[in-house]
Structure 1
Amino acid sequence: MGSTQLPTPRINGTGQHIPEGMESGDPATGMVQLLGPDGTLGTDPVFSDYAKRLEPEQLRGFYADMAKIRRFDQEATALQRQGELALWVPLTGQEAAQIGSGRASQPQDYIFPTYREHGVALTRNVDLSELLKLFRGISNGGWDPKENNFHLYTLVLAAQTLHSVGYAMGIQRDQKLADSAESNEPKAAVISYFGDGASSEGDVHESMVFAASYNAPVVFFCQNNHWAISVPTEVQTKIPLFNRAKGYGFPGIRVDGNDVIAVHAVTEWALEHAREGRGPVLIEAHTYRVGAHTTADDPTKYRLSAEENEWRSKDPLDRLEKYLRAEGLADDAFFEQVKQDGDELAAYVRSTALALQAPDIHDAFAGVYAEAHPLVAEEQAWFREYESGFESEEEAGH
């Protein structure tokens, strides 16, 4: 879509930025929703046009992606419980937010995840077994970011938002050079993922200030899953998070994060907006973390099961399945095949995880500095002496 076709954002009565001349979202909440929990597809004056672009095969693909990543998540959690991973960060409940947004991106776009974007990794064709290396503690990353334009996971809360804006500013400058050279290279944008907890970090504020000041082509994608570990959203913010964009002077959109169709539509619009030089966008995906923050967390200590049950009734997979069946777009054979594919993926991930070999710890010393360093050499010598002590004990035991 060319720049002349993209609507100019403005602010409606809820404080939400929307395209010129159109009202979008629920007037009470400012939230865009197309596919309701009952599986009924509604309309939206702005984003229905984006949803109409979707072919039945894409909708089936959305469901297959969500089902696969949920099955992967279950397997990874089991691997951690069995001692094969040091930690795992579950995503169950957030599949629509991740698959919808990830599938809206194009190959030239660059993605900055946090540590929970397993579904986005799937949409970028990252080998999911590579994700486990980090959580097994045998890799500093796990995959090559250049292969799929999918950055390494960032465990330092909100740090990736600064990185994403800097990268987007680089894209912006490259595009100016390409334009002057009349290049036919497709325009690119950046997606920066973070959670509602990270939104309280100063890095997010600084990122949005720079993004707004330089009109950087970046989409800030906040997955508001309602709990920053044990801290509820209402403690962190007194207004919906998407309203913060108003203070920076760029569009903010709140979307039902359990509605994969709406998430895809909103993200597609936002990326087009960014690629065409119209600046950043903030998307707040209103979703829910059904499980624990990590496998080291116990959510029963700080929230009620009634709350979890309420959100389970809004399950992203269930609502899309209802729609596909009601519209005759998928049958029992399709859903059975999706289940088989998920089980095959889980078996592959498990076998790969069990076959992972820990690297020689001495290699870690070699990776501290580019050149030899006397302090590192001293520490390595100490460690070798420490290791030799165990060898002496083993010999004595024999």
Structure 2
Amino acid sequence: MTDPKTKLDIYRTMVLAQSWEQALMRLIDENLAPASYHPGRGSEGSEVACTMALRESDYLLYDHRGMAHIIAKGVPLVGLFGDFLGNELGTTRGYGAGIVHVADPDRGVLGQSGTLGGSQLIAAGAALSAKIRKTDQVTMCFFGDGAANRGTFHEAANAAGAWKLPLVFVVQNNGWAVSVPTEYSTGGAFVDRANGYGFPGVAVDGQNPFEVHDVAVEAVERARNGGGPTLIEVKTVRLLGHYLGDPQAYREAAERSTSATRDPIVWARAALKESGEATEEQLSAIEAEAIEQVEAAREQALAGAKPTADVLTEYLYV
């Protein structure tokens, strides 16, 4: 069971991710960062709780839904802002020009495939590398219900199951593959697919990040101790559109309203107070501190310089 300190750390990181995203949206409104962003509100309970089961040396392959998992892995906020601003302070030093593919190998963040589902295969390769090198590193790969239906998932899952790779698949099932509901696009349950490849599958409610963390800790330890992969299907929600500015004409108002009641940050705050594990003063202090951290990081990142033409010949050998 998740202890009270870890619960507070999970809440703190979720709030930090929420504050960071709100600040990014301001940068987009100010035309300082590109609008090609997929908000992560609603998925913090999955991304933070699962990622916090990892060590710094473990590998993370994130998806494009928010930045909460990347923040939970310890990537500095200044670096994330710098990536969206396309300047030298970003993790990629401005190479992405605001089209974000965060990479921080020192913290195990391996980046993201430019093709939906491609990260699943990269994750299998990273896990195989750890097994060959005989380290105890675990790889965790996030993807949505849409990417779970790509052929890349089945290839990666087969390799992971056949070779007992230290890999944890996290399917963030928010019910929508862009604008297509999962009941239309998916046959059966995602969690049941694990059995076909010879490893465990667990479904968990993403509104409760503490339960998600318990499941993730068990899966990570199984992988680290040679027990092979696990598939975690987190039933989560998408509180905003698929992309920033998405009018969401495909969603009924009643469905959007129901989703809004399942915010993991709101749920965790109430649960911590009800259990007596945190006071209103503690929670308010955490929230105020998150805003201060984000504002300081934003101002620092805005001072970063754009890369010059010299970078065009870096890492070229012919």
Q: State the TM-score, normalized to the length of structure 2.
A: 0.90
Q: Which residue of 2 aligns with 1:324?
A: 272
**1:250 alignment partner, SS class:** coil
Q: Confirm whether residue 126 of structure 1 aligns to residue 85 of structure 2.
A: no
**Residue 160 of structure 1: CA displacement?**
1.0
Aligned residues of 1:258 and 1:316 also touching (Cα < 8 A):
yes
Across the aligned residues of Structure 1 and Structure 2, the Cα RMSD in angstroms comes to 1.9
Alignment of 1:223-234 (within 5 A): 223-234=172-183
Supply the AA of the counterpart residue of 1:84.
L
1:1-29 CA-to-partner distances (Å, cap 9, x unmatched) read xxxxxxxxxxxxxxxxxxxxxxxxxxxxx
Distance across 2 between alignment mates of 1:334 and 1:255: 28
1:208-260 CA-to-partner distances (Å, cap 9, x unmatched) read 11111211110111111211211111122121211111221211111111211
**2:52 alignment partner, SS class:** helix
Distance across 2 between alignment mates of 1:296 and 1:311: 18
**Residue 143 of structure 1: CA displacement?**
5.9
Q: Confirm whether residue 148 of structure 1 aligns to residue 107 of structure 2.
A: yes
Distance across 2 between alignment mates of 1:135 and 1:202: 30
Q: Which residue of 2 aligns with 1:213?
A: 162
Distance across 1 between alignment mates of 2:81 and 2:184: 33
Q: Which residue of 1 aligns with 2:10?
A: 62
Aligned residues of 2:81 and 2:301 also touching (Cα < 8 A):
yes
**1:253 alignment partner, SS class:** strand
State which structure, 1 or 2, has the greater radius of gyration over its C-alpha atoms.
1
**1:125 alignment partner, SS class:** coil
Distance across 1 between alignment mates of 2:241 and 2:294: 20
**Residue 293 of structure 1: CA displacement?**
1.6
Aligned residues of 1:84 and 1:354 also touching (Cα < 8 A):
no
**Residue 328 of structure 1: CA displacement?**
1.7
1:324-354 CA-to-partner distances (Å, cap 9, x unmatched) read 1122221121122112112112312331342
Alignment of 1:94-173 (within 5 A): 94-116=43-65, 118-137=67-86, 138-140=94-96, 145-173=104-132
**Residue 369 of structure 1: CA displacement?**
3.2
Q: Which residue of 2 aligns with 1:279?
A: 228
Q: Which residue of 2 aligns with 1:308?
A: 256
**Residue 155 of structure 1: CA displacement?**
3.7
Instruction: Name the count of aligned residue pairs.
Output: 307
Structure 1 residues 348 and 294 mapped into 2: Cα distance closer, same or farther (>3 Å)?
A: farther
Aligned residues of 2:83 and 2:102 also touching (Cα < 8 A):
no
Aligned residues of 2:77 and 2:294 also touching (Cα < 8 A):
no
Supply the AA of the counterpart residue of 1:276.
N
Q: Which residue of 2 aligns with 1:255?
A: 204
For structure 1, list consecutive stretches of 5 or more residues without a partner in the other structure. Answer: 1-50, 179-186, 372-398
Q: Which residue of 1 aligns with 2:305?
A: 357
**1:339 alignment partner, SS class:** helix
**Residue 297 of structure 1: CA displacement?**
2.7
Q: State the TM-score, normalized to the length of structure 1.
A: 0.73
